[in-house]
Structures are given as structure tokens and as C-alpha cells.
A and B are shown apart, each in its own frame.
Chain A
Amino acid sequence: METRTPDRARTSILMLDDEPIVCKRLRPFFQKAGYEAEAYSSPLEALERVKARRFDVVITDLKMEGLDGLTFLEKVKVLHPDTDVIVITGFATMETARESFRKGVFDFVAKPFKLTEILDVVRRIEKERGLHP
């Protein structure tokens, strides 16, 4: 069985959730789907990484110790305005959703969510941006 050899840059995704189980589920799923995927449980480490390089997509939780997701979203958008951010949260309210969209979030996904749901959102971003997995 041949493995896939990327002939062009794969879509890069950074995932941030302080609950390790979320990263453990998302990272291998996106890797298997052909994405370049990095996962972080610490917001500060994720922020350092975003400062070091640009990602096509950032997926972040909202409620985290140390740095909340909305602040992280703001910082990502300042550093890389063309990075699309998807917010995932178990505490979805209309208020947080409105605030997220005001700050430039691409989409908002409530936990628990299906793996295919978040993949669909990433594919929408790729379509809009002309990216390829």
C-alpha cells in the first residue's frame, strides 16, 4: 500500500484545548486525513508556536486556564489576519458566539461534536481560501 506523498503544502492546523482528550482525538484524526496537525494543551505554548509560524487554521477551546480562547483568538488574528479560527466549546451561549464572531472567528462548534463536523468546517475554509489538504 502506497502512502500519500504530499506534492504541495498541506493545510496546517494548530489545535488548542486544555483537556488532553480533545487534542488526542483531533490530532491523529487530522493527520490521517492528510493535514499537518499540531496540538497543544497549554495556551501559552500554543501562543509561542503561533508567534513562531503561521497556520492556515487554528482550532481553540474557549474556557482555559491561563489564557481564554477569545484572547487567544484576538492574538492570532493580530499576528496572522489570514489564519482562520474555529472555536470549540462546551459552554456555548449566544453571547460567547456573538463575541467570537465579532472577533473574526470563522465558525463556532459546540462540544461534544462529531469529528466529521469539524472536518467539514476545515474543508469549508480550504474551499474559501483555495487550500488543499
Chain B
Amino acid sequence: MGPGSARFLLRSFKRILAVNTQVLEHMARMDRVLGGEYVFDRAFLDSAVRTVCGLTYQVVYHLNGMAGEAYVELYDAFLAVKDGLEDILAGGLGPLAKRRVLPFSELGWEMEPLAGMCAVGLAELKYRLGLSVPDGLAVTVTGLADLLGQDQEAALEEIRAGVQSLYADLGGPRALTLTLTAAGPNGQGRILAETRVQGAEEAAAALTTLVQAQDLNGPMAACLRPEVPALVRGTLQTLAHDPGLPPAMRIQASPPADPEARDRVWLTRAAPHPFLRSRIAPKPLPESQALSLARDGFMRGSAWLDPDQAAQLAEMGLACERTLGRPCVLAWTLDPKRVLWIDGVEAVTQIFPEQDETVASPPDPDQALLSGGQMARGGVAAGPVVQVTEDTGPESVPLGAIGVARAATPGLSRLLPRLGALLTEVGSPASHLATVAREAHIPALFGIKGAFSLTPGSLVTVDADQGLVFPGAVDSLLGQAATPGSGVGDDPEYLLLGRLLRLIRPLNLLDPRDPDFRAESCRTCHDIIHFAHEKAVELLLDLDAGHRSGLGAAVRLEEDSPFPLEVVDLGDGLADAPGPLTLAQVESRPLRAFLEGLLLKDVRRQTPARLSLRDIMAGLTRTGAALSLSPGETGRNLAIAARDYANISLRLGYHFSVVDAVVSDRPEHTFIYFRFAGGFADADRRARRAELILGVLERLDFAASRSGDLVVGKRKLMEADEALDVLRLLGALSAFTRQLDVDMISEQDIGRLIREFMDLARPVLGPALKSDREAP
């Protein structure tokens, strides 16, 4: 059995599959550790990186073995990722460490050591939470170090170019606020200097002056963003310990023209954030603004901010605190249209008192409204209950609310950054949504019964660490959670793990048809193993039938299938019986389950497709070669099957779908990968069918995404029976959606046909279709 022989290719392919699964398991474990469910130490990080790198290298090696070293560039991509990981472990600044200037759109919380707390905090609030925050850029630790070194001219040029690019996005030059902060792994986000600049040239010059004037013996970063016109300006400190008060939030407010006329207000950290204390500065008021005594005893109308604005600010502050993992000070501006903007973020420099353990006595678990569930991400949060579904718009979710849902479906991920915590009745900490909760630092409990029955609008406190939900705001829990250092995510190890995962977990290469789907484009371990998997499948499918030495020939399935299908047995996939191949002879568990769904006549649509001339013309422009990976296989449907594995490629001339599945008795080895692309109808209708498929996949807990008519979905870590149910459903879906694109005339057809499919499939595939996953 030499390189290039069918058996060698098969053996290498199986190794790639096995090692890919191991990498995915390790990635999932690292991801779950990030959620606070596990206790770990530095040695775990070193060992996890070493293991993932070792396994990823094996994948690269086996692919090159299969392909006759045709993907040597994948070794280079692997080395770049490995070097990046080792650099981070050694205290380096990560994959973007060489960048001198980074726009907010490229920043994430784990880049704080490189870009500084101010820029990273504003970027997160703007791009992840969608709050009113001016766009801007960071001059990185590298950029400022170069300003003081031999590369000063190059650094200045990049800063000027960055500002010009920002102006282009803003629609013209504006006055900018320039903030210099302490950065690096131990920078803590302290503001060193702040000034106002006008134009790219002045920004670069002012930055040089400020940096040269600092005697800080450590890394610095800068943040540049446009100045917001102000009626009132101020700060919000998300955690303030003041005598006589519980841990609170503190707001200061004054008009730009009169900084001495400063109001100070202390609010509770739990919604709806009533005032605990206020010190309102005396100020002249317009005659029309009469004072009145409110029910709470405060004089209404004299403060610069009203209670609703203060509460809104408080929620913005808590959202920022969740993102950064520790208390912070936000600079805010109320503009002439009375819109609140966040335009600065700084670390809290106050010395916090030692936690008083008598205050932190825990609540009685017997008083909990709910208990149980699995921790997807630890932490404590209090807020009003809001029911969320996949159809809930982010704008309708109050910032900091406790979201309750029936199932942890991936579609909820866009709501997560706005939530204080998330509870779902069904779901797994290994799901895509759990990963997003960990990324967004949102406490989350999945599988907690009764969550969806909590009264909307009622105030509750979620303790995700203990799996408990209490009525009202539990001060002891909130006080303990507010103690710096007590939360998940504010330790250097968590920051380090988050930065490591950035080079391991994201999957950037999704579409094999994309010209950028190349070895050189792999930027993470996940990219590398996915690329290798795709290419290995291609290599197998490209095997010339005449040269399948030692492999069984492709056998045609003799059943009433919606389309012809041939099966190649990898070993133990088909029974050794004479005569035509029928479903009864399929011993491959995943293939058999898929075929059971595919062959269900009840789920097939009976009405013929309504083809228009436009469809026919559109279809003629897309040949099978353009849509499939292997022109030689166009129009041929092939399944490669072993006892626990199946790779099913359906190439129906105008659409192409792949199901790749391992069904093992060990849930951590089980995965299902589904990809669908193409169609005959025009682009809009193809996209609608893709949306339909996406909708069904998401209801089946797939981590799925759509780009045009391409849908890619993955599910991992499940019990064998559940995986087989899902595969039956995918088989039925493949039959149901055949030629369906031409019937999808309007957007309403998406929801209608999802319902139609669910209704058809439910009687025969009930177990996979839980009621909480039904179409709306």
C-alpha cells in the first residue's frame, strides 16, 4: 500500500478525521474553560496549546501525504499560527502585534494589552453592543514604541493615514479627542494624558509630544475618536465604594462651559438603578423648568441628567464592565439632541476595601425560584426578565435584561451582548450559543427548567456559578460579584486564554468555492483542520473509479430515491449480500439514518416545480462545473460509508450539498457537518431556499451560517441516537428542498415552507423535532 493508492488515501483520510475530532474536542474544552465552569492553571494553558498544535500538525502532515505534498503552504500557515500562540504564551501581544494602527472595527476585548483599554472598550461598545459610541482608531503599543525609535517616520505616516481613513469614514475632518493610556499585559488602562487635536498632522505631532513627555516605564497605547458636541459631559464609575453605601455606581455630570457646576449621583448596581444618594450642584434654571417634589423626595428638574438617562448610563456601564471583565469609568456626553454617547473608557483607580465576609453571606438556596441547568458561562447578574426568541429584535431587549428562552438556538447569539444573563430551558454548554456567551462574558445557564415561565418584567438575580435564580436583587450575591477579582474573566489567565483561542477557534474559511479558500489564507488551527478536511474529501472523491484498488466499486442504491445515489464501502458500511443494494443492506449508521429520511415519501413535496423562463435562463448560466468542486463528478451523487462514518455528496447539476458525519457512542466523537450551495432559480430564490435550510439547521441546534446561496452548518458533541435523528431529518430536508428554490417567490415563503417541512416531518421524525424548536 504505497502513497497514492486508494487504501493509503483512505487510511490518511480516516486519520485526518480522527485527529480533526480530537482538535475539535480540545478546542471545545478550552472554550468551556473560558466560561468559568472549570478551575485551571497556567500549566493547563501550556499543555492545551502544545496538544492542539501537535494534533494540527498531524492533520497537515496527513493531508500532504494524501496530496503528494501539494499543500506545503499549509505547513507555513501552521507555523505562523504556532509561532503566534507561543508568542502569546511568552507574554507577547498576539497576531496583530506588528500593527501600529488598528481601527475600532478590528478590535476585540482580548487585544487590550496591544491597543489599550480605552480603544478596546469603545470598540466593543460600538461594534458588539451597538451603542452610541464614536468610531475611532487605536495607535498600538507597537506604534507608540516606534514613535520613540528608529521607525518614527513610518509610524507617523501610518498614524496620519489612519486618521485620514477615519475622516473618510466620518465624512470629513473633525476635532478629535486623543487619549494616551498605559497598556501592555499589566497596563490596567490608566489614562496618562488627554488632549484635543484637529487634523491628521496635528494628531501625529501631538501624540509624539505626549509620548515623549511621559516618564512611564512601560508600554503605552493611544485612542483617537471624534469629539462629540456636548450639552452635558461627565463620567460613570461602574463600581464605587463610598462610606455608608453598598457597592454602587457613581455618575458625575457638568456642562462643558461650567465644570464646577457638577452633579454627583450614586445609583444601585441592579436595575432599575434607583438613586441611593445625590449631590446636585446649585445652578440657575430657565424659568420654564419648574422644580417639583417627586414621590421619592428628590426635587425634580434640577439635575443635569434625569433618572431614566442615569439608568440608561448605568446599563451601558455594566455592559462595558461585563465585556472588559472588571469595573471601569466611562466618559459620556449628552449631545444637543439629547442622545447619550460613550466616548471614553478608563480603569477604576480607586482602592477597593477588603470584602466583608459577613455582608457576603449567601442567600438560602431554598428561596431560589429556579435551580439546576448547566453553566455555559459563570457569573452573577440581576435584571428584569425578558422572553427572547430567534425573532426578537435586539432593539427590543432592554440592556442588562435577563433573557429567558426555550432553547439555546444559535439565532439568539445576536441578542447576547445586550443581556445581563441568559437562561434557556433546553441547551448544552457545548453549543454555539454557549461559545458566544463566553465570548461576550454573559452569565448563562442552559437546561434550567421553568426559565421561560418566569414572569416577564419581574426582577431576578441569576447566579450561574451555582445554577440558581432568586427573586429580586440579591445584594449579597451582587456585592460579592462586584468585588474586583471575584468575577470570571478578570484574571490574567482568562485574558491569556481568550487571546490564545483567537488563534485556535475561529473558522474564517467557510466557502470552498471562494478563491481565498487556500492554504495560505488559514489563520487559525480551525481553519487549518477545516481546509485539510475539505481537501481530503476532494481527494477521495476525485479517485478515478478505475483505480480504486482494494476498494469496493461504487454500488447504485436500488430504492425509490428522489435522485440516484451510489455508495462506496470503506469497510463495514454495507452488508456483504448478493443482489442489488437496498436500504436494508446499509450498515453504516449515519448513512442509513440519512437514507431513511431521504426515502420518506411523506416528506417529499408532490407539486412539480414551477419553472419560469427567467429560472431557465438563470440556470443555464450556472453549469454544474461552476457549482461543484469536482467537474468530473457533476451530476453524480456519491456516499462513502463506514460503520460509523458517512460522507454524502449530492451533486444534482445545479446544487451541491455535502453531509459529513461521524456517529459514535462517545458524544465527543460525534459530529455532523452539512453544506449546501447552488440552485436553478434566480439569486433571490436561491437565497430564500438557503435561508429555509439555515432556519431548519438552527432549529436543530446547528451552528450555521449563510452567505448568498451557501449554507454551512455544524453540530458536535451529541448522543448517537440524537445524531441519527438529526441525520434522518437532513435526509428528509434534502428531498424536501430539491428544486424548491423555484417555488420560493417571496420572503413569506421561507417561514411558510419551514412550517410545511416541520409539519410533514413531525409525524415520522418526531424525536428530532422538539416542540420548542418549531417554526414560528
Contact = CB atoms under 8 A, between A and B. Distances in A.
A74 B145 CA distance: 52
B471 A1 contact: yes
Interface in B13-34: 29, 33
A70 interface: no
A115 B39 contact: yes
A50 interface: no
Interface in A50-90: 88, 90
Nearest to B40: A112
B39 A2 contact: no
A88 B360 CA distance: 27
Contact of B465 (A19, A32, A112): A32
B476 A3 contact: yes
B367 interface: yes
Interface in A1-43: 1-5, 17, 19-22, 24-26, 28-29, 31-34
Interface in B336-380: 357, 360-364, 367
Interface string B464-481: 011000111111110010
Interface residues of A, number: 28
Contacts of B363: 1-4
Contacts of B488: 25
A1 B41 contact: no
A24 B491 contact: yes
Nearest to A90: B43
A61 to B, nearest CB: 8
Contacts of A4: 361-364
Contact of B362 (A3, A17, A20, A111): A3
Contacts of A101: none
A114 interface: yes
Contacts of A28: 480, 486
B364 A3 contact: yes
Contacts of B47: 90
A126 B466 CA distance: 19
Contact of A24 (B37, B367, B485): B485
A78 B36 CA distance: 35
B42 interface: yes
Most buried by A among B42, B44, B480, B486: B486
Contacts of A118: 39
A36 to B, nearest CB: 9
B298 interface: no
What does DSSP make chain A's interface, helix, strand, loop or mixed? Answer: mixed
Contacts of B42: 19, 21
A26 B364 CA distance: 19
B38 interface: yes
Interface string B435-452: 000000000000000000
A24 to B, nearest CB: 6
A37 to B, nearest CB: 9
Nearest to A63: B43
Contact of A31 (B360, B472, B475): B360
Interface in B27-82: 29, 33, 36-44, 47
A111 B44 contact: yes
Interface string B449-466: 000000000000101011
Given A21-B41, A26-B39, A33-B466, A112 B486 contact: no
A65 to B, nearest CB: 13
B463 A90 contact: no
A118 B42 CA distance: 19
B41 A111 contact: yes
B335 interface: no
A111 B41 CA distance: 8
B466 A32 contact: yes
Contacts of A29: 465
Contacts of B37: 114-115
Nearest to B38: A112
A5 B42 CA distance: 37
Contact of B44 (A5, A26, A34, A112): A112
A90 B36 CA distance: 17
A91 B461 CA distance: 38
Contacts of A113: 38-39
Contact of B43 (A1, A91, A114): A91
B177 to A, nearest CB: 35
A31 B362 contact: yes
Contacts of A34: 362
B367 A2 contact: yes
A31 B357 contact: yes
B493 interface: yes
A91 B471 CA distance: 42
Contact of A3 (B361, B491, B494): B361
A72 to B, nearest CB: 17
B553 to A, nearest CB: 49
Given A32-B362, A32-B466, A115-B465, A1 B367 contact: yes
Most-contacted residue by chain B among A32, A34, A113, A114 (CB, 10 A): A32
Contacts of A31: 357, 360, 362, 480
Contacts of B477: 32
25 contacts: A1-B474, A1-B475, A2-B364, A2-B367, A3-B361, A3-B363, A4-B361, A4-B362, A4-B363, A4-B364, A5-B361, A17-B41, A19-B41, A19-B42, A21-B40, A22-B40, A24-B491, A25-B36, A28-B480, A31-B360, A31-B362, A91-B43, A112-B29, A112-B38, A115-B39
Interface of B: 29, 33, 36-44, 47, 357, 360-364, 367, 461, 463, 465-466, 470-477, 480, 485-486, 488, 491-494
Given A28-B486, A90-B44, A113-B38, 12 more contacts: A1-B367, A1-B470, A17-B41, A19-B41, A19-B42, A22-B41, A25-B39, A25-B488, A31-B360, A111-B39, A111-B40, A114-B38
